[in-house]
Amino acid sequence: MATDGESISMSLAVATCVAMALFYVLILYVPTVILRLPSASSYTEFMIRRFICAAICTVASLVFTAFILPIKSWEASYILGVYGIRKDHLWQGVVYPLLLTSLVYAGSLVLKLLFLLESWKENGGGCSSFNYIRSFFQTIPASVLTSASNVSVWRNFIVAPVTEELVFRSCMIPLLLCAGFRINTAIFLCPVLFSLAHLNHFREMYIRHNRSYLRASLIVGLQLGYTVIFGAYASFLFIRTGNIPVIYISYTCKSLSNG
């Protein structure tokens, strides 16, 4: 994540980060508000529109960040390294954070293991349990094919983590560090901006789902609090390892543990 020793102003870094956070949210409403496209006829079409918008925002943020940062070498490997896409120390940068993330969600993982043991006892163990495990593994190929065509799976495990981490981690953290912010400040400032980018969920809860103002505030407040905590953890991993794939693996581990 290192640049060439030059720096940018703190105000420019913060303004750029806020602009990217707002852009990430506002662009989702471009198809209907600005382009005046008709409402999506299905959930799949609705999500595909959002995928395209998120991809455009991500590419624009990466390009804009590259021009703001004091980068003098435009070699592909160097640029990718600034964004945390690198090969050096990849093994250590993946295994250790993965173990740490597994420890964070150990409670959920242990609970799933207990459910598995309970199911094993109900099947009587032995041959019945073996048949149960064998049938489970036999269903994996079909489950993979089904998931590949499930737009929600693409949203939760591909589009959302990739675009969010590239914008809110790969772009923002180098900007903040290059502006002279302390590491602890950058660790907590990025997830705060990330949580603010999710305030549109309040609108969906309050208007679309007809929740009361108090109930919508409590739901969104809990989501934002959790987002800040995990975002700070993800920012810490990114700064310590310099590898953005680590964050994706941790994000996936979190999703599987909560699933």
Point out the residues that are catalytic: 164, 198
Find the helix or strand (DSSP H, E) in which 243 lies. Answer: none
Residue 122 in tokens: 């109900």
Q: What is the C-alpha separation between 207 and 217, in angstroms, rounded?
A: 12
The dihedrals phi and psi of 199, each to the nearest 5 degrees, come to: -65, -20
CA end-to-end distance (rounded Å), the chain: 33
**Tell me, what DSSP letter sits at residue 125?**
S
Distance set, CA 146 to CA 136, 151, 159, 175 (Å) = 15, 10, 17, 40
Nearest to 189 by CA among 29, 2, 13, 7: 13
Q: What is the C-alpha separation between 88 and 125, in angstroms, rounded?
A: 46
